[in-house]
Structure 1
Amino acid sequence: MTTSEPQSRPAAPRPAPTLADEPAAATAEDLLAAVALGDQQAFAQLYDLMSSRVYGLVRRVLRDPAQAEEVGQEVMLEIWRRASRFDRARGSALSWVMTMAHARAVDRVRSEQSSTDRDLKYATQSVQRDVDVVVDAVELSLEKRQVQRCLGGLTALQRESINLAYYSGYTQAEVAAALKVPLGTVKTRLRDGLIRLRDCLGVAS
């Protein structure tokens, strides 16, 4: 009588792993500590965890999506550079990051406003200079016309004496020689002509 070999029993099923058996996810504080040591993988995880929140905050301050995205990238880069400054005893990682993001966004707003103010000031000054040039030209043109009109009200000798003395640079003696009249006559005509010009132009004596 042969004895049969003992049949092997099937192995008992292994219990399914529970959440307690899985490693706990790293917190933002732990990731920052790792980033401070130069851990690029930790930074990638922190980026995925924080970037959307950073962008959302910056977007509410700046309004402009393109600028918000740019500033958001600057904030994440600043986190990489300044992670060693984070002190968990002074607050959470989220608070630290959001404070940094808000400060960056406000700085951008102030910078843009300052640039706008400079551009506006320059434009205003340029316009004012252009206006001043035009006003000066108009005033000069009107003044010349008024002088010409007033000169037309003088006698021929007065007008010629003034033209030679004040517009051609002649001395009184040269005016007398050019007009072939006595020097005393020229002096009298110049004096009387200037008085009439002053009254015509409304110049206070």
Structure 2
Amino acid sequence: MRAAAGGDRDALRNVFDRTSGKLMAICLRILNDRDEAEDVLQEVYVSVWTRAASFDPARASPVTWLATIARNRAIDRLRSRRSRGLAAPVEEALELADDRPDAFAAAAEREDGERIHHCLGTLEPRTQKLIRIAFFEGLSHSELATRLGEPLGTVKSWIRRGLQSLKKCLGG
């Protein structure tokens, strides 16, 4: 990451070679559209090229930082698609033919993923489910409330308390 931050194209190519499969899996899982996932992945690496200097290894591993960027970009694209009325319900999504581990399984293999998985397991099942849906499907608080038939304020409170518990468990 340091070399990429210094403008080293070979270093960025190395980062791409090591992480593109995992980041593509994240984008595919969220978007369920290979073309859009490839577009988002390209945006991620353009962003990395321009923002590599902002990477702080004390806050996250490179893969975690990159996965967060990919996840956020994919969710932004998904929300944009929904606002244009182009998104199909998640229930209609076809399973993706991809023999690589999915994003959650890949992250779970790393230390950060193991810590997150452990901390998610400490949450009550309802809160754990809400956070997983929000993370993997990119639903807003109001969309979660509608899906679950719960008041918006209640859903926000559950998620806020769950995220506070996760932060505490992760040592932040």
- Between 1 and 2, higher relative CO (CA 8 Å, sep ≥ 6) is seen in 2
Structure 1 or 2, whichever has the larger Rg, is 1
